[in-house]
Amino acid sequence: MSSNLEGISKNGARRVYRILARMAWLGSDKRLDGPTRAALEAYRTRLGLSPTEGMELEDSARAGESMQVGKRAAEQRLLFDAMIDVGVANREVNDQQLRYLKRFAKILDVPKDALRARLEQHAAGRYSSPSAEVRIRDPHDDESDETGSLIAAPSESAWNEEPTWDDAGSPAKPGAVVLLGANKEAARIDLGTLATDASFAGFRLVPPGLHYVALKRGDRFPSSWVQVPEGGVVVQRLHPAHDRLVNASAGDVQAARQKLEAGQLEERLASYPFQYLPDWRQLTIYLGDPEAFPPRLREEDPGGGSRFENALYGTHDGDGNAFLTEMSYAFLRGFLDGERRAFSRWSHLLQAGYHCGPDAPQSERGFFTRFVRLVVVQLGQLPSDYFAQDSFVTYGARYLTQDLRRAGTDDLLRAASALEAFLDSRA
């Protein structure tokens, strides 16, 4: 494969790999291994993505989260050929993969016969043998599963991103967060901060879900957590007496909606900073249930075992997602709000995972692949001085990578490699 990626941005590379991983998962039996794994790894390297990024994008693709496809011709050409290459890797292109390919072929004006020919050409090139060895089922004439067109890509400008789309080609309608109040020097949403002036009124194109907003007023940072519904408007007001963000009145919400619909707020709203969205989604992936937010931060864990056993089996009754939910919230409260108790709890859970013991990764395989993925994204937010020698955020990490490698399964080996690669990059 050529290494020429001219015309493909970093975001484009991530989009391409995520869809390749989706193509691979559609043809897999719950594992990406063998020739399919080799094909994916070749493209991951070619696209300049780290093992950590690859693992994150593969899991997102497996979950069927919203997909995006670039508008640039270079990205589309690479993607279409790469999808076919990944599809024929295991010598069978199934119905799901074929439907996925047909969506792209339809937009690129590739006729059905030409699609079959390209599949056969790729199969022959990969195996240097008759393409008949690869089973390709005939594309169906029924287009009922393909009502959506090729997914439109967002703008390459990080602050002018277009709405995201789901895997069926339906738009996930963004919302808005309106912030009322005066004397705002800067505003933050999630991981992005920008300077503001007197006209600033909030953020537009906000993806549905959980978000953190804050304002800077001198040495104070009034903040709030908000749930933005699809296509909805959330209005917060700066409380003048208590210097904090609170829910606005019903009248303020109605007035904001009317101004939005009339286009009167358009120039006063900043676009959501989409360059931070992938990390934000990973940081909040366990915080998506509005009924369970905010999660409780514990003072200590019951039980007479190790820190890991007490936290997982004592506090969270063996529920790995509950462990990661508390860990996610503890980190964000400490990182975003500077809350020492929360950051201390996060550090405790981090070290509990690092010092889990040699047997835990094998018995809790699913948990540790998720744990490593979350930890890498969390550590990635911290400044370089956190990674000095003997730092509490890295102390014991090598014990975990050794235990993961000792377990010997493909998923845990990849997790170990991802954590090691990240730590080496910050050393």
Q: Two tokens at 419?
A: 């954590």
- With vertex at residue 93, the alpha carbon angle to CA 91 and CA 97, rounded to the nearest 5 degrees, is 145
CATH number at residue 352: 1.25.40
* 191 and 126, same domain (yes or no): no
What's the rounded Cα separation, in Å, for the pair 323 and 326? 5
Q: Is 101 exposed, middle or buried (0-12, 13-18, 19+ CB in 10 A)?
A: buried
Query: pLDDT (tens digit, 9 = 90+) per residue, 23-42?
Result: 888 887 767 777 788 888 88
Q: Are residues 267 and 301 in the same domain?
A: no
pLDDT over 50 at 414, yes or no: yes
Distance separating alpha carbons of residues 22 and 87, to the nearest angstrom: 10
pLDDT > 60? residue 126:
no
Looking at the fold, whether 262 and 352 belong to one and the same domain comes out as no
The total of other beta-carbon atoms located within 10 Å of residue 299's CB is 9
362 lies in some domain: yes
Q: Specify whether 103 is located in the same domain as 193.
A: no
In a domain, 35, yes or no: yes
Q: How far apart are CA 19 and CA 60, in angstroms?
A: 10
Domain encompassing residue 408: 285-426
291 and 262 in one domain? no
Residue 275: closest CA among 329, 173, 205, 216: 205
Both 290 and 420 in one domain: the answer is yes
319 and 421: one domain? yes
What is the per-residue pLDDT across 133-165, written as a single tens digit (0 to 9) for each? 444 444 343 333 322 222 222 222 322 333 333
Separation between Cα atoms, residue 320 and residue 367, nearest integer Å:
6
Q: What is the pLDDT of residues 64-74, one digit of tens each?
A: 666 666 777 77
Look at residues 289, 280, 387, 386 and name the one whose alpha carbon lies nearest to residue 336.
280
The predicted structure's pLDDT at residue 124: 56
Could you list the beta-strand ranges (E) of 84-206: 92-93, 135-136, 175-180, 186-189, 192-195, 202-206
What's the alpha-carbon Rg for the chain, to the nearest Å? Answer: 24
Report how many domains make up the chain: 3
> Which whole number is the average pLDDT over 1-5?
43
Rounded to whole angstroms, the Cα distance separating 415 from 189 reads 30
Claim to verify: residue 391 and residue 293 sit in the same structural domain: yes
Q: Which CATH number covers residue 202?
A: 2.60.34.20
Which of the 8 DSSP states describes residue 310? Answer: I
**Both 241 and 314 in a single domain?**
no
Residues 216 and 241 in one domain: yes
In-domain check, residue 280? no
Residue 30 neighbours by CB distance under 10 Å: 6
Residues 120 and 196 both lie in one domain = no
Query: What pLDDT was estimated at residue 392?
Result: 84
- Got the DSSP string for 218-231? TTB--EEEEEE-TT
pTM above 0.85, yes or no: no
pLDDT of res. 330 = 97
Q: Which of 242, 274, 306 is the last residue of a domain?
A: 274
State the pLDDT confidence band at 177, using cuts at 50, 70 and 90: very high
Please say which residue of 88, 119, 136 terminates a domain.
136
Backbone angles phi, psi at 211, to 5 degrees: -140, 155
Helix, coil or strand: residue 43? helix
Domain-located, residue 243: yes
Q: Is 187 helix (H, G, I), strand (E, B) or coil?
A: strand
Q: How far, in Å, CA of 381 to CA of 283, rounded?
A: 10
The residue from 224, 252, 274 where one domain ends is 274
